[in-house]
Structures are given as C-alpha cells and as structure tokens.
C-alpha cells in the first residue's frame, strides 16, 4: 500500500459538499488517513446545498499535528470562515515555506490568499473569485493547476480530477489508477 499518508480537510458551515466529500472519499479509497476537521469542533456542518457533514475532529485539536497534505474545499461561506481562522493561515504559511503539500479548490484559493502566498504561485479557482486572485504569479483556467507543492482546482465539476491528481502526487500513478478502477472511471 505504500507509506502512511495523512490528510487534513478543514470544514466550516457552507462548505461545497461535492468538493469536500469527493476529496475525502477519493483519498480514503487511496488508503490515506483523512481527518475532516470542523472549525466549530465536531458539531454537524450544514454544507452549501443542505447536506449535513459530521467532522471527525475539531480543527483546533488537530491543526498542529503532522499531515502530508492540507486540502481545502470551497464554498463561499466556508472559505470566508477559514480566511478568518488565523491559526489555519499560519499553518498554510508554514507548509508553503517548508515545501509541504497544500491544495485548494473553488473559492478556497482565497484562503491561500489570506495566508499571503497567492502572489508566489500559479493557480486556478472558481471563475466567481478569479478577479480577487488577479495578483497571483499567474492565473490559469486549467481544471487542475500544480505549482510546486500547491494544487488548485476550479470547482465542484473538477473535484474528481483534483482529488485523483492529489492521489498521484502523493502516492504515484499506480495508486491513482487503482482508485480510478474502483470508481469505474472510463
């Protein structure tokens, strides 16, 4: 199965459920340990389209633990709340400075912006927040953009390619193919 890989997925009310559930599910299928961590502890979270998600842990309790990847789903209310969570922003800055994996999808690249790293990277995002990210080193419209150890994606419609790219980047092409086979991906 390869090395043990731990992933942190922070969640706040209004998270885009397709993005959150897709990245959690795909990475767990790949054999990764994924911790879905709620900004408000382990209270159930109502996502952007009404699906209720139950976090595994409180973000405050696990934020300082070692993780191989920090993967941030989008949804405007979720990302606004995460943008205002200074301990999370500090961890993003630290991960970026030390060359550790960070991923963000949809509106979540705005969380990377709040952490002060956007001007240093090429990225993509949901078109609705593209203008606010115009100061990135480069803004691209690809489904998934990998720049160093930062992986960004467009939105709910690109959540699966984003999650599969994360599997490949952290565990290799063979593991990605195994997950694609599990998913019956054509």
Structure token digits, residue 116: 């002060």
Catalytic residue among 27, 47, 89, 106: 106
Burial of 163 (0-12, 13-18, 19+ CB in 10 A): buried
Across 92-129, b (16+ Cβ under 10 Å) vs e yields beebbeeebbbbbbbbbbbbbbbbebbeebbbbbbeeb
Task: Round to whole Å and give the CA distance between 144 and 115.
Answer: 20
Burial of 31 (0-12, 13-18, 19+ CB in 10 A): middle
Residue 143 known to be catalytic: no
Kind and range of the H or E run holding 35: strand 33-38
Looking at the annotation, which residues are catalytic?
A: 106
């Amino acid at each position: 199965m390869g090395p043990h890989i731990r992933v942190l997925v922070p969640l706040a009310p209004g998270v885009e459920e397709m993005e959150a559930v897709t990245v959690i599910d795909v990475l767990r299928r790949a054999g990764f340990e994924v911790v879905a961590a709620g900004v408000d502890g382990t209270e159930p979270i109502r996502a952007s389209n009404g699906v209720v998600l139950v976090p595994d842990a409180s973000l405050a309790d696990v934020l300082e633990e070692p993780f191989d990847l920090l993967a941030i789903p989008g949804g405007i209310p979720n990302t606004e709340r995460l943008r205002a969570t200074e301990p999370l922003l500090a961890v993003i800055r630290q991960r970026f400075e030390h060359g550790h994996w960070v991923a963000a999808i949809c509106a979540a690249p705005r969380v990377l912006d709040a952490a002060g790293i956007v001007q240093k990277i090429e990225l993509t995002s949901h078109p609705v927040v593209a203008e606010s990210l115009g100061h990135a080193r480069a803004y691209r419209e690809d489904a998934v953009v990998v720049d160093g150890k930062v992986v960004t994606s467009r939105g709910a419609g690109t959540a699966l390619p984003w999650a599969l790219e994360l599997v490949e980047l952290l565990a290799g092409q063979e593991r990605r193919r195994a997950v694609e086979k599990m998913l019956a991906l054509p």
